[in-house]
Structure 1
């Protein structure tokens, strides 16, 4: 079997970092870990070609060569995913698809012409798919009722990657999350019982990347790295001597729940292992909204204090915030902005709530007949969309707070000020690497580009840039890489805030930042 594995393109989005990638000389932020793990599950005798279309698009020769096309996708990759299915079918190729998007909405993949749906987690369903192929089945849907033991998961095919095209490499230690947030599809896809690999298994993956020559930042892509705190501590206790022995070849970032701040031992272990950043799902400072959405772990202790403790443990904070929860009071956007300014989180991901398929929120709104069709991320795969349900306060009000918040937060002076303040807050050890890392050639390119764009070309921030840069060099030089990386990312966000405003304005039919009075009519919502 000759299999062509394709990973669809991402549209310009919050996480695509388009201008940053261009400035630094990268093609994409992280590699697609799911599909290269699937590659490791395929029979050894198969011939495999892999293309991440965000890095190296496939050629006409690849299409002619293959018997089978395998695709994996998230919802945001929806447009290119369907285009690839349709192209493969037109060329007479068999198509197999998997990943979070087709697992959540399988009918959409079938409607585009996919022959095989390898859903849920591949450790269970890929062998069923291969058995069906061997029996000559022309199509099939392969699902799993149970969750696999990830200690049996194979090492991803890191050798298939064009590694120098990525800003970071990636591994996965766990799947699942113990919490019960109503809007989250992670517990729907991967369950509420966190399953972890063995520490030796994760270390072996790091050793493989080390042996392949990777040095620099590495993203542990778990949706909640600390979901199983006992096992993550076991892993960290083995990781610490490994990074010391190898002279700290990687610095790490990951995603975690806010209760990370409640465990001093865990924070210390992450610090010793070289974690420089963590993404937190803060969502909102409004306690009522957190209770409504069942995110009770965020209500136990003050969120500002949690951020301070994580900074003190040497970690930069990225965070997600959401507008549009049921019962949300007017001014939620302003309260989120105030929280972000107080915590100095540099890159807050502000979004409008979406009801993702099969989540508790989706099922509740379906019962309440509040889901709508023709709008939202489920329709277009775009982050900058109005909600796909009827909210409890006016859509126009939520949209205005979203655009206004995003516009103000990513105003260049505001953004650079937060980057500066966050870097000064981080208790980063001077004696070892624990910061954002860049390969030497790309690092020099990034520094020169940042100096040109922000230190010379942009008069509105020129003085601020030089003053802050000099202070970082004199007071805390160990975070200089991190500060310059954050500055470079600003070039992406200053473009992206314009795009976000345009996308929302198109859906509303007017620019919410230019309207001082509420419109007479709400945007049209079509009940499903």
Structure 2
């Protein structure tokens, strides 16, 4: 069998980092880890190719070669999935689709030959056998959530690593909390499952042997979901980093209660975690309580963030507008909070009712669902009827984006962050980073209409935060992407 593994294109959003990646000559932020992990579970006599449509075109020659096309996708990729499935149907190709999208949409909404719902580690062998025997069923449903020691090493031979900004590994799945709007707990459960530590280190060994010497994103749903195991892993990561000369800088996702555990923070600092994404959501405690985000309540949010920043770890924040308890003052409150907390990368989105979540079920019972949604919470569209006037909500959302990503506000926030966050350990200046620096000086310092703000920021970074200059330049480039995306989103409302 010729198995063509395809990852559909992701639309341009704040999360794509498209405009920032172009500074380094990169084509995508991360490789398709799910397909790279499933590939080794396919029969050894199958021939495999992987096409990531975010870094290369899917050609007719690719489709002509294939006997079966295996697709993994998220809900946000639905438009690209529909177009891909149509191309495959025209050629009479068998298609298999899995990934989070199949947990969000009914099988009837995905016209693939075969649909895999849930985590596929326990399904792949039966599915492959049935495909070979022409007895494959339309739908395969995972009966249970597998232990992660069943995961093989991702097949790095299927990708060209230099096309990506960050490599990825997964150490755990699931999250112990119960946020109403989150689909993670519905798909992967509330009992975190962790990979054995030797298995995680083997994945790092593989990346190191392949020549990778840049950021590694630990794509866990909540890295500290099981705190004792996270601490044990951090100790092992710290030792591994020291033994190999600290070749990687780690990024991950966690919950805000990370700030309460100094042992965790010390372990992340020792292992050289430089960034963590936190779901902060809102400064409005009534919204946190109503949505089940209890881990963010009864605390000083800014001080919690500051505690993490003081460890040399940048906080990237996720924020949501559109909760039932939001009032007209939420827009000013959110802007003030983001500026005060000095979170440069602030991902602000409109609340989305994702199919399968507690929120979707509640709003559906209240007759407030408009459509299944696109999975893109930063596009400025709603898929439900909010309590606040919908026009006021979407207008306020766009105004928040314009305010936090105006050049002056963004650069001010970055400088405030640099004042709180010690610089990371120095690393070698790679060719791609040098290219990004030169591109920034040209595009932002010479060609941009905001060049006056840029040079003012650069002067402040050089004179006041010289040891953090590389971080300052990285965030300047990120700001370019956010400003371009903000212009696009706000223009579509004009």
TM-score (norm 2): 0.96
Tell me how far apart the structure 1 counterparts of residues 156 and 430 of structure 2 sit (CA, whole Å): 22
| Distance apart, 1:347 and its partner CA | 1.6
Tell me how far apart the structure 1 counterparts of residues 127 and 66 of structure 2 sit (CA, whole Å): 18
Give the equivalent residue in structure 1 for 2:9. Answer: 9
Tell me how far apart the structure 2 counterparts of residues 467 and 14 of structure 1 sit (CA, whole Å): 25
Q: Which moved more, 1:341-350 or 1:132-141?
A: 132-141
| Distance apart, 1:210 and its partner CA | 0.3
Does the alignment pair 1:386 with 2:381?
A: yes
Is the contact between residue 5 and residue 35 of structure 1 (CA under 8 Å) also seen in structure 2?
Answer: yes
| Distance apart, 1:160 and its partner CA | 1.2
Tell me how far apart the structure 2 counterparts of residues 409 and 237 of structure 1 sit (CA, whole Å): 37
2:170 to 166, 172, 192: 172
Give the equivalent residue in structure 2 for 1:265. Answer: 263
Give the equivalent residue in structure 1 for 2:145. Answer: 147
Matches within 5 A, 1:357-436: 357-373=355-371, 376-377=373-374, 383-428=378-423, 432-433=425-426
Q: Secondary structure at the match of 2:349?
A: strand
Matches within 5 A, 1:8-407: 8-110=8-110, 112=111, 114-373=112-371, 376-377=373-374, 383-407=378-402
Tell me how far apart the structure 1 counterparts of residues 190 and 466 of structure 2 sit (CA, whole Å): 41
Is the contact between residue 2 and residue 46 of structure 2 (CA under 8 Å) also seen in structure 1?
Answer: yes
Tell me how far apart the structure 2 counterparts of residues 344 and 262 of structure 1 sit (CA, whole Å): 19
| Distance apart, 1:59 and its partner CA | 2.5
Matches within 5 A, 1:372-521: 372-373=370-371, 376-377=373-374, 383-428=378-423, 432-433=425-426, 440-458=430-448, 460-462=450-452, 464-503=453-492, 505=493, 511=494
Is the contact between residue 313 and residue 427 of structure 1 (CA under 8 Å) also seen in structure 2?
Answer: yes
| Distance apart, 1:502 and its partner CA | 3.2
Tell me how far apart the structure 2 counterparts of residues 120 and 142 of structure 1 sit (CA, whole Å): 9
Tell me how far apart the structure 2 counterparts of residues 396 and 385 of structure 1 sit (CA, whole Å): 11
How many corresponding residue pairs?
Answer: 494
Q: Which moved more, 1:419-428 or 1:209-218?
A: 419-428
Tell me how far apart the structure 2 counterparts of residues 465 and 138 of structure 1 sit (CA, whole Å): 58
Tell me how far apart the structure 1 counterparts of residues 87 and 137 of structure 2 sit (CA, whole Å): 18
| Distance apart, 1:475 and its partner CA | 4.3
| Distance apart, 1:125 and its partner CA | 2.1
Tell me how far apart the structure 2 counterparts of residues 439 and 71 of structure 1 sit (CA, whole Å): 36
| Distance apart, 1:439 and its partner CA | 6.5
* 5+ long unaligned stretches in structure 2: none
Tell me how far apart the structure 2 counterparts of residues 423 and 40 of structure 1 sit (CA, whole Å): 43
| Distance apart, 1:117 and its partner CA | 0.7
Q: Which moved more, 1:178-187 or 1:126-135?
A: 126-135
Q: 1:438 to 1:185 in 2, by over 3 A?
A: farther
Q: Secondary structure at the match of 1:142?
A: strand
Tell me how far apart the structure 2 counterparts of residues 219 and 151 of structure 1 sit (CA, whole Å): 20
Tell me how far apart the structure 2 counterparts of residues 403 and 471 of structure 1 sit (CA, whole Å): 29
Q: Secondary structure at the match of 2:16?
A: coil
Is the contact between residue 24 and residue 433 of structure 2 (CA under 8 Å) also seen in structure 1?
Answer: yes
Q: 1:193 to 1:38 in 2, by over 3 A?
A: same
Q: Secondary structure at the match of 1:43?
A: coil
Q: Secondary structure at the match of 1:3?
A: strand
Q: 1:203 to 1:7 in 2, by over 3 A?
A: same
Tell me how far apart the structure 1 counterparts of residues 183 and 136 of structure 2 sit (CA, whole Å): 31
Is the contact between residue 128 and residue 142 of structure 1 (CA under 8 Å) also seen in structure 2?
Answer: no
Tell me how far apart the structure 2 counterparts of residues 286 and 484 of structure 1 sit (CA, whole Å): 32
Q: Secondary structure at the match of 2:96?
A: strand
* 5+ long unaligned stretches in structure 1: 506-510, 512-528
Q: For the aligned residues, what is the CA RMSD?
A: 1.7
Tell me how far apart the structure 2 counterparts of residues 273 and 45 of structure 1 sit (CA, whole Å): 39
Is the contact between residue 380 and residue 398 of structure 2 (CA under 8 Å) also seen in structure 1?
Answer: no
| Distance apart, 1:438 and its partner CA | 8.4
**Residues 200-258 of structure 1: CA deviation (Å, up to 9, x unaligned):** 11110011000000011111111211101111111111111110111110001111100
Tell me how far apart the structure 1 counterparts of residues 94 and 414 of structure 2 sit (CA, whole Å): 48
Q: 1:477 to 1:161 in 2, by over 3 A?
A: farther
| Distance apart, 1:109 and its partner CA | 4.7
